[in-house]
Structure 1
Amino acid sequence: MNGFAAGLRYLAQGQRWVFSRPRWLLFGLVPALIAFVVYAGALVALAYFAGDIAVWATPFADDWDGAGQSLIRVGFALLLVAAGVMLAVVTFTAVTLIIGDPFYQALGEKVEETEGGAPPGHGRGFWQDIGVSISDSVRVLLRVLLFTVPLFVLGFVPVIGQTVIPAIGFAVSGFFLTVELTSAALDRRGLPLKERIRLLRRRLPVALGFGVPLVLLFLIPLGAVLLMPGAVAGATLLARGVADSATPGQAPAAVVLGKG
């Protein structure tokens, strides 16, 4: 539980960092707001057409009695929307980070500055940064899909499909959300995607303590928009902590909210 609580503290400290600096909060809201409008429209469309998709996907239920047919199709539609929401939570972050790369790079570097300074970085240009960000986000999404598809199928299993599977789904979403949000800070430290995932997997309770509550908060209307700048700030603090603690002979970075 200590690790989970540490992750939650990073999340809270990141939110406190931006809310104590309104200029940086507003700066970070712009790309999140743009992405929110796009995603809200897509999820509304998915919910509107979920019933039609369920009918198309379950032709075997055409001859069933009314109750059985309704149960399977309503269940399918609900699971489809739930899977869409889970993917939206993870991909929202990736898309927002791509849209707002200059915004969030500047925000992350400012957080690093208030905590003792950022590493020299990788020396890539703006468009190279965008290309790497898109490539990494696609690879993260493919990993998420490896979990989402079987979890979607297992959602039809009685009892565990309504209890255990959603909990696992939130854990998967939370972990990969943390992977996405820490990408910029860990990339500045020269860690490629596989190394970032390996590092966060070794600190799994911390990653889940940061990501799972954030997934739940992102489900609140406009929560993703309002909390995104603080999520980037908190992820930068988390990245400093886990990367420094993984470096031999170097003490973990203390999370001290300096002025900036």
Structure 2
Amino acid sequence: MVFKNQLVKQPLSGIGYLFKGMKLLSHPKLRFFILIPFTINVVIFASAFWFLFSSIMNWIDSYIATLPDFLSWLYYILWPFLMLSILFSFSFLFSTVANFIAAPFNGLLAEKTEKLLTNQQINDDGFSELLKDLPRIFKRELQKLAYFLPRLLFCALLFFIPVFGQTVAPFIWFVFVGWMMAVQYADFPFDNHKIPFKSMKSALSKRLGKNLTFGMMVSFLTTVPFVNFIIMPIAVCGATAFWVDIYKHELINDGKQLEKE
């Protein structure tokens, strides 16, 4: 029996797909393919958060000290948002690094998850073919970085604009990182079907609410110690379930014409 039958209803929000990802994570057929992404995540996040939590309080106090005296009352409002912004920044940065390193294995996990949900083989490729496909996979990761970095720089610069930038930047950053996480993880099942990056972004934007809630929750969970060790494979499985429920039908079965890169 296809595993999809156990997960028939589509969640109302992107958060529901993380719960789907958690359910899929425990499936025996996926455990082997989760092992390598999990190990990469543990090594990178353990190192990153050791450095982060040894410095975060000093960074926040120094940043708030630059506010004018007449805005000193914002301290207790900005403090939690700044902490979250720093956590999300580091989480996004190291999640991007982890995903870049683990991209071939995340793509393989997305492929096996889709096969589990649909009982349909995507590719006949084994590990030897995966090795041959590495240049294309890493080219796609570089394409994502080229999309992320200018927007990342713009949001970061907002933090240095006195008063206005200092107050709105944390909120803008929260939304930005949510979108980036949605793009990051949705791309694995899309790329398995050779769907162009631009077409993938367009498809995600049509369900912006679901994708933002998915990405924001992933961002939040990457800041939670120990949970951040397993969030990568959960997000890959959840994004693949999202693909199977919605995008596979729209972009593949309906024969929609995809624009070429």
Same-fold call, TM > 0.5?
Answer: yes
CA distance in 2, matches of 1:16, 1:4: 13
CA distance in 2, matches of 1:185, 1:130: 15
Within-5 A mapping of 1:223-234 = 223-234=227-238
Per-residue deviation, 1:7: 1.6
SS at match of 1:191: coil
Aligned-residue Cα RMSD (Å) equals 4.0
CA distance in 1, matches of 2:49, 2:150: 22
* Match of residue 139 from structure 1: 147
Deviation track 1:119-166 (CA, whole Å, cap 9, x = no partner) reads 44998622342243134224223323333433x3579449x93xx764
Per-residue deviation, 1:232: 0.9
Runs of at least 5 residues in structure 1 that lack an aligned partner in the other structure:
252-260
Per-residue deviation, 1:216: 1.9
The TM-score with structure 2 as length reference comes to 0.72
SS at match of 1:219: coil
Within-5 A mapping of 1:95-174 = 95-116=97-118, 117=120, 119-120=122-123, 125-150=133-158, 152=159, 156-157=163-164, 161=167, 166-174=170-178
Identity %: 20
SS at match of 2:233: helix
Judged with a 3 Å threshold, the aligned counterparts in structure 2 of structure 1 residues 141 and 246 are, in CA distance, closer, same or farther, namely farther
CA distance in 2, matches of 1:4, 1:147: 31
Judged with a 3 Å threshold, the aligned counterparts in structure 2 of structure 1 residues 54 and 247 are, in CA distance, closer, same or farther, namely closer
CA distance in 1, matches of 2:222, 2:19: 14
Runs of at least 5 residues in structure 2 that lack an aligned partner in the other structure:
1-9, 256-261
How many residues are treated as equivalent by the alignment? 238
Deviation track 1:78-110 (CA, whole Å, cap 9, x = no partner) reads 877554322223233221111212321221111
Contact 2:177–2:215 (Cα < 8 Å) also in 1: yes
CA distance in 2, matches of 1:36, 1:248: 36
* Match of residue 6 from structure 2: none
The worse-fitting range, judged by mean Cα deviation, of 105-114 and 39-48 is 39-48
1:8 pairs, out of 11, 15, 21, with: 15
1:212 pairs, out of 197, 212, 216, with: 216
SS at match of 2:12: helix
* Match of residue 49 from structure 2: 40
Judged with a 3 Å threshold, the aligned counterparts in structure 2 of structure 1 residues 155 and 237 are, in CA distance, closer, same or farther, namely farther
Matched letter for residue 84 of structure 1: I
CA distance in 2, matches of 1:111, 1:143: 31
Contact 2:179–2:212 (Cα < 8 Å) also in 1: yes
Contact 2:88–2:223 (Cα < 8 Å) also in 1: no
CA distance in 1, matches of 2:80, 2:33: 38
Judged with a 3 Å threshold, the aligned counterparts in structure 2 of structure 1 residues 38 and 118 are, in CA distance, closer, same or farther, namely farther
Contact 1:144–1:176 (Cα < 8 Å) also in 2: no
Per-residue deviation, 1:201: 0.9
* Match of residue 25 from structure 2: 18
Deviation track 1:192-218 (CA, whole Å, cap 9, x = no partner) reads 322222211111012023112222222
